[in-house]
A and B are shown apart, each in its own frame.
Chain A
Amino acid sequence: MAVKVSTLDERIKLTDSADSPLDTQEYFINMGPQHPATHGVLRLMLKLDGETVREVIPVLGYIHRGIEKIGEHSTYRQFVHLTDRCDYLSAMMNNWAVSLMVEKALKVELNDRIEYIRTIMAELERIQSHMLWWGVLGMDLGAFTPFLYGFRDRELITDIFEETIGCRLTMNYIQPGGVMDDIHPNFVDRVKKVIEYAKPKIDEYEELLSGNVIIQERLRNVGVLSADKATSLGVTGPVLRASGVPLDLRRVAPYGVYDKVNFEVAVGSVGDCWDRYWVRIEEIRQSMSMIEQLIDNIPAGKTMLMKPAKKTVLPEGSHYAQLETARGILGIYAVSDGVSDKPVRIHMRSPNYNNVWSADEMTRDSRIGDLVANVSSIDIVVPDIDR
């Protein structure tokens, strides 16, 4: 199949010029890097025809910090804390991905306690990420109140993190060979309390936004991404599942203790914003049920199996591990020379980078308001795109 590669120079040419004074003309406008709806410093160049978006060209790199390059100069254990800074809303899963890669390469067998703690923490992280996303989607669509409700409930989960770990956002908790600290004695009680509190809140979310007819009109049949297009774009996570592809690594290629819990994979049928919205809301519920299944059965055992101060040298060759973050599949690829405790090359296959390109496919020939809904429903975290 021949692929036509178009450069940015070609794409920013106007195809439609005004012949007579009465003709309308296409024009370009920059959405971002400073714009309330791009959640940071994403820059979208829009080719507009009046209010209609003809093309969306994401321009990346405004928060590029060379994290992969720094990774080549850090040990694996040091690199873990950098992954916190990529997708900061799934910091726990990012840490886990690096740890998984190292453990896979060194063939470290973990005990159940570590796996249980990791899984519970990752699911808590997923819940708080989706709660924040829910609030931000509300704000992008013009309702400010959900934003604060989402943050209010998310704070309780970050409280759990803070009690056990000491940090709320960039936690650096899951380490190669285990977890940094054992869970706090209050952990189990607090998690149960928060889940009990949050369950009715999710119903309230549904009353406030999901059931709202304006939201349904704003989301339904907006930004349709077909399953074919989604898979060919390499989209993963809730965005892919909303298009009807039930690819969830937690189910399809289980890691942690996901093979021991029962949960359902939320999928959509059309692939529009409404499906993406609903899939995430359902994922919060599923994560809660997963935590409920795990929280009472945390077995005893050590929480760190590799000595932190000891040099970690991976065998020569390339190593890869992937898992499902709140936004999709995160893969960590590392090449080791077998001598140094630092990788020769480290690469992150980040979910947001692939997801952001679907914005163009979703948005063509719809309105600016739809673009905002689409970008919001993709749920991008810009530092993870640029890294």
Chain B
Amino acid sequence: MSYIDPKKSSRSAIEVGGVPVNIVVAPRGATGDKREGLLTIFYKSVKSLLTGMKVTIGYLVRPSTVVTQQYPENRETLKMFERFRGQLRLVKDENGYMNCNGCDFCEKACPNGSIILQDRRNSVSGKSELERYLWRLDSCTFCNACIQACPHDALEWSDGFEAAVYDRRLLVYTLNDYAGPPVNHIKRFKKKAGTPEDRVEELLATMEPRHQYGGPTPLSGKGMPGVPPLKTD
């Protein structure tokens, strides 16, 4: 039995497979002739226990070291980092038009099928556009692959972290709030030579509202056998 002073490590340089390696060898405490007497060991042991007690009492007497956050009370001051991966959302411009044109890159990048896109063809412009952007928070792993893959900067993270719900079906979101042309299509359509004003309005009229929980699957709102219909307010 001896007391180990954790600071007394020894250093040396050796070679491992031709590579020089500097090593630090763990302290082991005195052995053999250098063994300390019983009283010295007893003194050092008691001192080590008291040192530990000094550390803990240091925190007890300094209430400023408390790190606990009182969560629901500090909601106002609780600020997430700007890159925090909270919930996925579609980027919208000041008019409320989204960037997403339903190109499927995110769906392909998603490792576990948490993103499902449905497209439609616009009757006015004849272009393919987003019908419904389904995002399943319940299977999302927040890996950021969709945002990384998006060529139109149409996706971003919001900082909302309070996503808990009582019904799993509420975790399947429709991210777009309208089905229709993205901001790019509208701009290009306007720029197209000779497009009359009423044609643009006709294009905008093809937009249809989409509800957050209006998805097609029974998981997102409609009744299932034995399960009451979902309240989505």
Chain A residues within CB distance 8 Å of chain B: 74, 77-79, 81-82, 84-85, 145, 152, 155, 159, 162-167, 170, 172, 175, 180-181, 184, 204, 206-214, 216-217, 220, 242, 246-248, 251-252, 262-270, 274-275, 278-279, 281-282, 286, 308-309
Contacts of A268 in B (CB 8 A): 25-26
Contacts of A247 in B (CB 8 A): 16
Check B55 against A204 for contact (C-beta < 8 Å): yes
A82 to B84, CA, bound (A): 20
Q: Which of B92-100, B142-150, B200-208 contacts A (4 or more CB under 8 A)?
A: B142-150
Check A265 against B52 for contact (C-beta < 8 Å): no
Known interface pairs A212-B48, A216-B4, A220-B29. Does A166 touch B149 (Cβ–Cβ under 8 Å)?
A: no
Q: Chain B, 22-40, contact with A by CB distance < 8 Å: what is the 0/1 string?
A: 1111111100000000000
Answer yes or no: B71 CB below 8 A from chain A CBs. Answer: no
Check A270 against B28 for contact (C-beta < 8 Å): yes
**Interface residue ranges of B1-33 to A (CB < 8 Å):** 1, 3-7, 9, 11, 14, 16-17, 19, 21-29
Q: Which residue of B has the minimal Cβ distance to A268?
A: B26
A96 to B1, CA, bound (A): 44
How near does chain A come to B38, taking the closest CB pair, in angstroms?
13
Which of B85, B144, B149, B151 has the largest count of A CB atoms less than 10 A from its CB? B144
Known interface pairs A82-B111, A247-B16, A252-B19. Does A264 touch B11 (Cβ–Cβ under 8 Å)?
A: yes
Known interface pairs A264-B11, A270-B28, A309-B149. Does A252 touch B52 (Cβ–Cβ under 8 Å)?
A: no
A329 to B109, CA, bound (A): 29
- A and B contact pairs by CB, cutoff 8 A, 5 listed: A164-B83, A217-B1, A251-B16, A263-B22, A264-B22
A281 to B22, CA, bound (A): 17
Answer yes or no: B45 CB below 8 A from chain A CBs. Answer: yes
Check A282 against B9 for contact (C-beta < 8 Å): yes
Check A166 against B111 for contact (C-beta < 8 Å): no
Known interface pairs A167-B142, A207-B52, A208-B52. Does A78 touch B111 (Cβ–Cβ under 8 Å)?
A: yes
Answer yes or no: B189 CB below 8 A from chain A CBs. Answer: no
A165 to B82, CA, bound (A): 10
A268 to B16, CA, bound (A): 16
A84 to B28, CA, bound (A): 36
Check A167 against B24 for contact (C-beta < 8 Å): no
Check B25 against A166 for contact (C-beta < 8 Å): no
Task: Identify which of B16, B49, B83, B145 contacts A81 (C-beta below 8 A).
Answer: B145
A164 to B82, CA, bound (A): 9
Task: Identify which of B1, B11, B56 contacts A208 (C-beta below 8 A).
Answer: B56
A85 to B141, CA, bound (A): 10
Check A145 against B56 for contact (C-beta < 8 Å): yes
Known interface pairs A207-B52, A252-B21, A266-B26. Does A77 touch B109 (Cβ–Cβ under 8 Å)?
A: yes
Contacts of A212 in B (CB 8 A): 48-49, 52
Answer yes or no: B81 CB below 8 A from chain A CBs. Answer: yes
Contacts of B142 in A (CB 8 A): 166-167, 170
In the A-B complex, the 10 residue pairs with the closest CB atoms? A78-B111, A81-B143, A213-B45, A166-B85, A278-B26, A210-B6, A166-B83, A264-B22, A172-B143, A268-B26
Which of A242, A281, A309 has the largest count of B CB atoms less than 10 A from its CB? A309
**Interface residue ranges of B70-101 to A (CB < 8 Å):** 81, 83-85
Contacts of B49 in A (CB 8 A): 212-214
Q: Which residue of B has the minimal Cβ distance to A242?
A: B26
Check B83 against A266 for contact (C-beta < 8 Å): no
Which of B25, B27, B105 has the largest count of A CB atoms less than 10 A from its CB? B25
Contacts of B3 in A (CB 8 A): 213, 216
A267 to B9, CA, bound (A): 10
Which of A184, A213, A214, A270 has the largest count of B CB atoms less than 10 A from its CB? A213
Contacts of A166 in B (CB 8 A): 81, 83-85, 142, 144, 157
A167 to B80, CA, bound (A): 11
Check A211 against B48 for contact (C-beta < 8 Å): yes
Check A246 against B23 for contact (C-beta < 8 Å): yes
